[in-house]
Each structure stands twice: as structure tokens, then as C-alpha cells.
Structure 1
Amino acid sequence: MIGGVSAGYFANRFGRKGSLLMNNGVVVVATGLMACSKLAKSYEMLIVGRFIIGLSAGVNTAIAPLYLAEIAPTAFRGLTGTFNQLSITTGVLVSELIGQSFALGTEKLWPALLGFSIVPVIFQLIVLPFCPETPRFLILNKGLDEEARTALTWLRGSSNVTDEVEEMRREREEASRQEKFSVRNLLVDPFLRHALIISLVMQLSQQFSGINAVIYYSTDIFEGANLSEAVSKYATLGTGVINVLMTLISALIVDRAGRRTLHLIGLGGMFVFTTVLSLALIFKDSVSWFSYLSIVSITFYIIFFATGPGSIPWFIVAELFAQGPRPAAVSLSVLVNWFANFTVGLGFPEVKDAIGPYTFIIFAVLLALFWLFTFFRVPETKGRTIEEIQNLFKATRAPVLYREINVTEEDIG
């Protein structure tokens, strides 16, 4: 949470690419502390390392989607943004695999397991310096038009980037006519506040859907459904594989189907299978095959999560805001996401101990509410430029402003 809320400052101060590179240095320190904690016989090093790598994770979950959204052409923003989630789900799966007892999850090898985080760091430190800073940051934040044109030419593989450069220049000119942005504007400005509420609820819909209750405690859930410990662990790994595959499919169709459509499909499917999972866990002692129904329910639950709610909340925030408020909005959204993650991770075991399998009914109710909010309040951003999305918010506010000032047709005449 701390890393996420501070990411906007770093993104504006050091750039998107610069912040990502600097953040790798933080991971090197954290990995060193964790990997050497056993050798040094110091649990304090392990705790400090975990704290530092948590800061890094918060920064990454804010700036990586921001960087991707700003380098992607309008027609492929969804594809690019969803590949961010694909990397996350792949990382989760790799972590689950190497954390097994047949790999690095042993009494002797767990320091190497925690030190494994250095591998993606080395990869990014090698390849990211060859990538450009985002053209939007170069034009709107730094006023470096020619550098931005060079970056766009590299990214697009073509010198025909005049239209995109001109669009960014118009956005800069419009921003220069407005008062300097502050975080307070997100709450005061009606257009920004509308977009911020959508962004925050989208983050809550991801975490309060119950996904981390399923991921964190899937093995316990399967064992509670009367499956053996070995079968439960392999079932958990299977859900990780499904999550990766479905996220890949989502990446390939998101720019055709649309963000809003996939999010609605995902939330609706999760609602159905959360309800089925609840019934399977409640009546598992009465009907023997309900134990296997719980596996089927979790499998389809993961499929629908990966369809939309897994990826769309991460990158839609960057689509809803212009350059000025975008880093602050992304930071606040990541803060809310991690807070919701923390709440579920901390509260789910207590609630499960108190009400047992009825716990998932709570998530089913929340999923229904999030579906209604998405249906009535979330706009479709597919294929729209930032300018068009901003105009869309202004258009949705126009009838409200008309009523507030109480103008009649006679007054207009």
C-alpha cells in the first residue's frame, strides 16, 4: 500500500521507465536480505526484506500498467494492459511450482526460493534500458517533442507518427490552460471524481470478488471438501495454469469485445460459481460428489476471473484519466487494491472460522453489487482516445448540470 500510493510521485519525478529501473535496485536489496537471513541466523533480516519487497511490489503494480498504457497504440491498449496481468498470473504459477517440496520449498532450500526474485530483476535491468521512456511523459511532462517522436517511431516501427504527436500536443495545450493539478482536484472536480469513483470500485470488484480467498486458501478449501492433501495441492496448481491460459485468451479478445463487456461477463460468471461453491461446501457431507463440484466451481470461477476482473481494473484507470491526474489516480487505485487485498487476506480466515462455508455467500452478494455498478456506471473505453473518453464524462454530466441551473426552454429562447 505504501509503495502503491507513492508511485505517482516517482512516476512524475523520475519518469515511468526511470522509476521501474530504480525499483529494481530496491528488489536487489530485499532479495539479498531474505536470501541471506538463514545464513546470518537473523529473522530480522527476513522481516525487513519482506517489508522492502512489499514496497517494491506496490510501486510496480502502479507504474508497470501506467508505462504500458502510455506506450500502446489506442487499438491495442487492452492487449498491452492485459499482458501485465498475464505476467502476474505467470509469476504466481511459477512461485507455486518452485515453492513445492519437490523444488525449492524445503527446509534447506527456502532461502534460494526467496532469492529467486533476483531473476526477473536481472532480466529487466538488461532489456529495459533499450526501451524508450513513454512519449506522453516526454511531451506532456518534459516538453521534449523530438525525443517523443523518436520514441514513438521506435515503438511503432514507423515514422508515420505525426497524428499521435499532434494529439499529445493538443492535450498539453489544453492542460496548460487549466490550473495546475493537485490530488485535491480528484475529489473536487466532478469529472475527475466520477472517473476516480469508477477506478476505485473497479479495484474493489477485483479484490472483494473473493479471488485472493480462493488463491490463498484454495488448498485448505479442497482439503475441507474431503480431498487428500496431495490432490488438493495439485488442484491448486491446476487453477494457476487455468488462470494463465484464460488471461492469455482475454488479452487476445479484450480489444474486440471491450473492457466493460468482459468485466460484466467475468463478474456474472464469478457470481454464479461462487454461489455453486458455497452450496457445494455447505452440503459436502450430505452429498459425496459435492467435493468434486467444489473443484469444478473453483475452476470456472478462475476462468471468469481471468476473463475480465483479473486484468481490466489494472489498466482501465490509466485510460480514464488525462496525463496530469493519471499518476495520482493510479496511485490511489493501487492503494485501494492492496488495502482490499490486505483486508481479505487478514479477515477471511477469521470469518471462515466463524461461519464456515457460508463465507462465500458474502462474496456472491458483493459480486452482484459490483455487476450492477459496472452495468450502470462504467463506460466502454475500447478504441477511444483519452480526449474522447474525457468528452464522454463531460457528456454524461451535461444533463445533471442542466437540471442544477434550472434552465428552461423559454430562458434559452
Structure 2
Amino acid sequence: MGNSRYCIFVLLITQLPTAFIQGLSLLSLNSAAPAIESFIIESHQSRYGSLPSESNTMLYLTLAQSALVWGCVVGALSVSSLLRKLSPKNSMVITHVVNITAVIVSAPVAYFAASYESLIVGRFMTGVARGLGFALSMVIVAETSVRSRLGFFQSPFQVCIAISAVLGAGLGHSEALGQPGLWVWLLSLPGISSIPYIIAYRWIPETPVFLLRRKDDSGAENLLKQLRTFDADVAAECAILKQELLDESRRESISIFSILQAPDLRYQFLVAALAMNAMQLGGTQAIAMYSNAMLLTAGVNSAYVTFVTMALNGQIIIAFPIFYLLEKRHGTKRVFVLGIVIASAGVLSFTIANALQVTAPWMSNLAIAGIVVMMFGMVVGPILTLHSLITELTTSSTRPTVVFFSNSMFWIIGAITSTVFPYSFASFGAYAYVPFVVICFAYIPFGIFFIPETHRRTNQQIQLSIRRKSSLHVSEVFAISKRFKHRESERSDLGDI
């Protein structure tokens, strides 16, 4: 059983436009930072008749960058409310309308009004569209694709984000659109990405799960016949989805409080949330948004720094075939762990070499190699398994809540990192990377021992494994607590003697 060509079209038209919004807006200001800084200075001077202070310029530039991710937080927090009122399909249309409006505010309005405030607000609105689209695309693909190929069909989203990020970084170069007078065209590009989805809207169906929730069983079964290959057992798949939704109704409401009260669901949520946030906690957001500045301090020539940034994100072109072969043979969990191991080695090398290059200039080469290895590991592991792993670990009943809170955590961590990192980097230099080193290494045992095996397992088998692991870890906690109390009792008895 597999996805039909029509299903693949639905998956791609859902993922590609949203992915290009994610990527183009992510790295454009990284390369075009000098042009944006000039715009801020000129706008301030024309309005107040004086140059802004260096600290204020840095603040406005940081806000222009980080507003994108803070908008993502708002978008992520709005997904649940939006899905309660609209279908996933119509929610995605709202996302693209917000994106087009955001581009108008951040590009032509900001440029012609000479308003860096409008630039910051527009970037925030673009972030709202990114936060909505990031979660909605995951939900739609999970509710549309055949379960056995979710790992593969969720991964193109991350590939397209990386490719579009490379495009954004390249176009933001000072010899391209990253110069005064042309940056407005650079920030307009994400708006073009929304047009294909709006054009294809009439040919995009609702998801089978959405139809089943509306009690349209026949409509869901007929839709599954269009979405699956001719040899698919549509009735059996429909029965599985209905059973999951029945479990949902029996649990009344799968709220975050309900999830946290049930040991197996709590374990499912924590593992899925931590797995989804591995790339953020490991420092990928900081590298993506401020790689040019980081690479300059690592010794990269300013004439080539943008090209190195493009190469860092372009590694996904090489990593994806490797990921595909490994995922098909070993599953998403093992690929996740492998990627974390590689990334940990890379970020450790980068941090040490960056700290030592002041006394040993040749270490700059090791620093550059370290950040390349770190990003390659993140791409192969946490980035390409980002959506697929959380989808495999959850069910139709728990997925909306788990995705909502995991996605919210994802963007909150990213927003804090993008706001704080420029200042911590300015204060501590290479030592600002130490938390990323510690977290990356901590994720290795987490991936090995806490994430259940998902390869060639049904959702029922995965959930059974989660129940066993949750019981095991709870038992271990009680056992440790019991041993601790016993030792305290023995010490008390010895004290009495």
C-alpha cells in the first residue's frame, strides 16, 4: 500500500510553498544585514536628524531578525484555535493570506515609508505565517499520507526549507539583492511562495481524519481511494483511523492536562517534544540566523562568508539521499541518534577551536570544519526527522495537542536563542557555544534509551513500547527513591548508635 500520484501532489503542494516561506525569510537578513543596518541608520537620521547610537542600531537589527521567530511563537500558539474553527485546508489558506500581508508591510511599506518599525512588524507577521504553516503542514501530511511512508513524506519539507534558505542567503549577498535599494525585493520573495497554494486550492481535498471527525465516513473512504494506490486496503485503514478517533472520544478531551496525568501519554509527549526540539536546543537557530558573524570570528574571509553559509545549509542536498537510505533501512530513531552523535562531535570541535584560534590561528580551519560537521549531523538527524519522528510517536487523538505544545516550545526556544545569542556571543565569544555542546551530548543517551523503536512497527506497537518504557522509568524512579530512603534510614540508625 502506498500513496497515489494525486496524494503526492497534495503533499507537495502543501509542503513546498510553506517550506519556501520558512527558508527564504530565515537567512535573507543574515546575508543582507549590512544593507538593513544602513536602512535603519538612514531612516533614523531622516526622522530625527541624528545618527542612532551603536547600541540602538544593534537592538533594531536584532529585533528585525528575532521578530521573525517571536512571530512564529504567536503562530504556533494560534494553530490549535484555528483548527477548532476551520479545517486544516482552510487554515493553510489563512496562513498564506497572512504571509502575503506580512510581505507587503515588511518590504514596500517599510521601504517607501522609511520605517524600520514597519520592517520589524512585517517580519513578525511573516513569523506568524511561518509558525502556522510549520505545524499545519505536519498535521496535514500526517492525516493524508499512508502511515508506513510518513517518515519519507515528512522529510521533503525540511529539504525544501534548507534549499530555499540557501537561495535566500545567496540572494541576500551584497552583490545580489542584499544592498541598499534592492533589499525590498529580497523581502518580497516569500510572498510569491504563497501564490501556488492559493491557485491549487480548489484541487486540494480535506484530510480523511477531518472528514471522519465530521462523521462523513463514506466521504473519508472515497477520499482514501483517491489518495492510495490501487492495492490499498482502504477499509482497513479507515477502520484504524476510526478506532483512534474512538479512543479520543473515550478519553473525552485530549488536553495537555489529560496527557500529563496518564503515564504513557505523558511519556509520549515528553519524548516527542524533546526530539522535535533537538535542533533548537542544539543551537541550529543561532547558526542559521547569525552564521555570517560566527564564521567571520572563526576566520572566514568576509568575501566568502555568505558562500560558506550557503554551503552549510546546502549540505542537505547531500544529506537527504543518505538520510533516505538510512531511514529506509534503519528507521527514524537510529538516524536521529546518528545525527546527534555527528553534531555533538562537530559542535565540540568548533567550540574548542574557536576558543584557541586567538593563540593558534591555524585552529580556524578546525573551527570551520567543526561547524560544517555539526550542521551535517543536525541535517541528517534532528532536522530531517523533525516531523517524521513526532508523527510516528503520536496518534490521531494525541497528535494535535502534542504538536501544538511541541511546536510552541520549538519557536519559544528559537525566539529566545535568536534574541539572546548576539549579546551572549558579544560578551563571551566562543564560550557562548558551551550550552549547545552540553545539550548535544545529553541528547545521545536520550535518543538511545528513551525514544522507542519505530522502524517497521505499527502505531499500536509503538504505543505499546511507549507504555512499557513509561512503566519502566516510573519503576526506576520509585526504586531509586526507595533505595535513597533506605540509605537515609540506615544513616539515621547509625547516628542513633
Q: Indicate conservation of the 8 Å contact 2:263/2:471, yes or no.
A: no
Q: Name the residue aligned to 2:393.
A: 320
**Aligned-partner residue type, residue 243 of structure 2:** R
Identical residues among aligned pairs (%):
25
Distance in 1, matches of 2:357 and 2:448, equals 34
The CA deviation at 1:45 is: 3.1
Q: Is it true that 1:360 corresponds to 2:433 in the alignment?
A: yes
Q: Is it true that 1:226 corresponds to 2:279 in the alignment?
A: no
Which 5+ residue runs of structure 1 have no aligned equivalent? 407-413
The CA deviation at 1:350 is: 2.5
From 213, 223, 227, give the equivalent of 1:151.
Answer: 223
- Which one is further off, 270-279 or 394-403? 394-403
**Aligned-partner residue type, residue 157 of structure 2:** N
Q: Is it true that 1:336 corresponds to 2:409 in the alignment?
A: yes
Q: Indicate conservation of the 8 Å contact 2:281/2:436, yes or no.
A: yes
The residue correspondences of 1:79-94 to structure 2 (distance < 5 A) are 79-94=152-167
**Aligned-partner residue type, residue 147 of structure 1:** G
- Alpha-carbon distance change, 104 to 399 in structure 1, aligned in 2, over 3 angstroms: closer
Query: Deviation string for 1:372-412 (max 9, x for gaps)?
Result: 22222111223333333223222334557889999xxxxxx
Distance in 2, matches of 1:202 and 1:18, equals 29
Distance in 2, matches of 1:375 and 1:400, equals 14
From 109, 112, 127, give the equivalent of 2:185.
Answer: 112
From 82, 88, 92, give the equivalent of 1:20.
Answer: 92
The CA deviation at 1:78 is: 0.6
- Alpha-carbon distance change, 403 to 197 in structure 1, aligned in 2, over 3 angstroms: closer
Count residues in correspondence: 405
The CA deviation at 1:159 is: 6.7
- Alpha-carbon distance change, 104 to 192 in structure 1, aligned in 2, over 3 angstroms: same
Q: Name the residue aligned to 1:204.
A: 277
**Aligned-partner residue type, residue 242 of structure 2:** R
- Alpha-carbon distance change, 352 to 299 in structure 1, aligned in 2, over 3 angstroms: same
Q: Is it true that 1:102 corresponds to 2:189 in the alignment?
A: no
Query: Deviation string for 1:177-209 (max 9, x for gaps)?
Result: 332333321222222111111122123321111
Distance in 1, matches of 2:215 and 2:244, equals 12
Q: Is it true that 1:277 corresponds to 2:350 in the alignment?
A: yes
- CA RMSD, 1 decimal: 2.4
**Aligned-partner residue type, residue 156 of structure 1:** R
Q: Name the residue aligned to 2:77.
A: 5
Distance in 2, matches of 1:365 and 1:401, equals 25
- Alpha-carbon distance change, 163 to 261 in structure 1, aligned in 2, over 3 angstroms: same
Q: Indicate conservation of the 8 Å contact 1:69/1:80, yes or no.
A: no
Q: Name the residue aligned to 2:463.
A: 390
Q: Is it true that 1:295 corresponds to 2:371 in the alignment?
A: no
SS at match of 2:303: helix
Q: Name the residue aligned to 1:242.
A: 315
Query: Deviation string for 1:312-350 (max 9, x for gaps)?
Result: 233322332222231121111111111111122122223
Distance in 2, matches of 1:244 and 1:186, equals 38
From 245, 251, 258, give the equivalent of 1:172.
Answer: 245
- Alpha-carbon distance change, 279 to 349 in structure 1, aligned in 2, over 3 angstroms: same
**Aligned-partner residue type, residue 380 of structure 1:** E
**Aligned-partner residue type, residue 202 of structure 1:** A
Q: Name the residue aligned to 1:258.
A: 331
**Aligned-partner residue type, residue 34 of structure 1:** S
Distance in 2, matches of 1:383 and 1:63, equals 26
TM-score by length of 1: 0.91
Q: Indicate conservation of the 8 Å contact 2:346/2:371, yes or no.
A: yes
Distance in 2, matches of 1:169 and 1:251, equals 31
